[in-house]
Amino acid sequence: MEQQLMFEKILVANRGEIAVRIMRSAQELDIKTVAIYEETDKDAFHITQGEEAICVGPGPRKDYLNIDGIIEAARKTGAQAIHPGYGFLAENPDFSKACTDAGLVFIGPPPEVISNLGSKVIARQIAIDAGIPVIPATDNLSSEGQGEEEALAFAAENGYPIMIKAVSGGGGRGIRRVEDKKGLLDGIKRSRSEAMMSFGNDAVYLEKCIRRPQHVEVQILADHQGNVVHLGTRNCSIQRRHQKLIEMAPAGLKKEFADRLCTSAVKVTKAANYLSAGTVEFLVGAEGEFYFLEVNTRIQVEHTVTEMVTGIDLVREQLLIALGEPISFTQQQVVERGYAIELRINAEDPKNNFLASPGKIQVYQGPGGHGVRLDGAIYQGYEIPRYYDSMLVKLTVYGYTWQEAVDRLARALKGFVILGVKTTIPYFQQILHEPDFIQMKFDTSYIDTHPHLVEYLEEEREMEKIARLIAEISAYGFNPHAQ
């Protein structure tokens, strides 16, 4: 029976690799796509991948966040639905509501779900009510003065270190670890300021610090019919400044323990009346205990590793759920097979505290072969804008065993040629030869406890010379295969 779609065209309210990735799944369902862009992003690759593209403003960044402007772009182009991707407006309940109010389908959760789970305090209470362990924490701290008293009382009861977190936080912003009273009081002020600038909400709360945990997450899907399934675990422990660098699936846990996490994730999802794709995140302690952390109400950057080990297209499922269709498989049909690892290849200098490295890509070549997936939005000659995220391409590899995945990742990294900007590639090459990584011995302290990983040789200068030589040869039309 031929599937009847409720809409024929969607607008993708994002940029870069995730915009391209969403468009591809939509096009497989014969859904036309509209790309948006700012004037400062007019050379971006994602603009060329949709059937249409529309400028939403001069930028930078502000017009990707302009709800009214994006709704108007959907109206002008005749789109019936909007996919927010990740970042930008993806977890903004006002955007979800504005789409619905405008008669558009928001491809994600309804606004009340995003609002509840976007508040870490409310999300914690949902988890508590569902019987899921949570980390000891305060409610939202009161404003100046009284909030300090609450903080000091919590410290006296739970001891240091303590985590300060923005209630509306995400992407590692508004989070800091403090070790003593002075750090606590100063840190609250700084986190409030950072949270206000990043999220327009200066509310913060305190959480007991779990020393050297693993960061494990569970991918879930929920449909209009009340079905909720999980797609197994991911390990996202290797982070810098609370931002993920490397992700893998499955998480490398014993099956019984992983099953407990997945069951807990489904319970939280049902308790929150969730819809669409989402991720339930946990901290796993050294003694085998686990704690609910948060729910991300969007597709994750690292969703590719789950797709590689399950064979399930998560964005396709998102689109079908938005169309009112049930999830296209049962829990019993979800099978994790082998291992997948994802690296975020960023235009950053690991030797300089991962400082962003914008500039022109003089030469670009990506790897390929069995079990290698690239999700990117760069091309040779592309000038990387300084206004946006520094990620160039996501490299995801699959292996039937962990060692095969590691070996394939090492081979794939050697296949990259990205000249003109500094990247995280040489840093990742160091990690792949590090004994703890090879043995899957890592937690959230991995980067800090392995500072020697930045001590790689500077080969970029020689490569840049080669790049200039190639550019000169190309300018004169030299063909090495000419007779």
Instruction: Tell me which of 15, 124, 298, 408 is the catalytic residue.
Output: 298
Look up residue 287 and give its two tokens.
Answer: 């003694």
293-344, pLDDT tens digit by residue?
999 999 999 999 999 999 999 999 999 999 999 999 999 999 999 999 999 9
Q: Are 248 and 234 in contact (CB under 8 A)?
A: yes
Query: Measured between alpha carbons, how far is 177 from 436 in angstroms, rounded to an integer?
Result: 25
Between strands 9-12 and 81-83, the pairing is: parallel
Q: Region 372-392: what's the mean pLDDT?
A: 95
Query: Measured between alpha carbons, how far is 360 from 338 in angstroms, rounded to an integer?
Result: 37
* pLDDT given at position 459: 58
Q: Cα dist. 358→80, 244, 247 in Å?
A: 36, 20, 24
In the predicted model, is pLDDT for residue 481 greater than 50?
no
Q: Are 164 and 204 in contact (CB under 8 A)?
A: yes
The CATH number corresponding to 214-462 among 2.40.110.10, 3.50.40.10, 3.40.50.2000, 3.30.470.20 equals: 3.30.470.20
In the predicted model, is pLDDT for residue 460 greater than 90?
no
Q: Region 431-439: what's the mean pLDDT?
A: 97
Look up residue 32 and give its two tokens.
Answer: 């036309």
Q: Are 284 and 227 in contact (CB under 8 A)?
A: no
Domain ranges of the chain: 9-107, 136-208, 214-462
Domain 136-208 -> CATH class: alpha beta
332-351, pLDDT tens digit by residue?
999 999 999 999 999 999 99
Q: List 282's β-bridge partners, or say none.
A: 216, 292
Using alpha carbons only, give the angle 376, 382, 386 rounded to the nearest 5 degrees. Answer: 85
* pLDDT given at position 199: 78
In the predicted model, is pLDDT for residue 172 greater than 90?
no
* pLDDT given at position 368: 97
**10: nearest Cα among 106, 149, 145, 130:** 106
In the predicted model, is pLDDT for residue 478 greater than 70?
no
Domain 9-107 grouped into CATH 3.40.1640.10:
no
Q: Is 157 helix (H, G, I), strand (E, B) or coil?
A: helix
* pLDDT given at position 342: 98
* pLDDT given at position 143: 73
Q: Is 214 helix (H, G, I), strand (E, B) or coil?
A: strand
84-143, pLDDT tens digit by residue?
999 999 999 999 999 999 999 999 999 999 999 998 889 999 999 999 999 999 988 987
419-433, pLDDT tens digit by residue?
999 999 999 999 999
In the predicted model, is pLDDT for residue 2 greater than 50?
no
Look up residue 432 and give its two tokens.
Answer: 């792949």
In the predicted model, is pLDDT for residue 468 greater than 80?
no
* pLDDT given at position 479: 47
Q: For residue 49, which phi and psi values (nearest 5 degrees)? A: -95, -15
Contacts of 313 (CB under 8 A, 6+ apart): 25, 307
Look up residue 30 and give its two tokens.
Answer: 């014969």
**232: nearest Cα among 210, 254, 217:** 217
298 is catalytic: yes
Q: List 249's β-bridge partners, or say none.
A: 340
At 355, is the pLDDT very low, low, confident or very high (cuts 50, 70, 90)?
very high
Query: Measured between alpha carbons, how far is 265 from 126 in angstroms, rounded to an integer?
Result: 12
* pLDDT given at position 7: 86
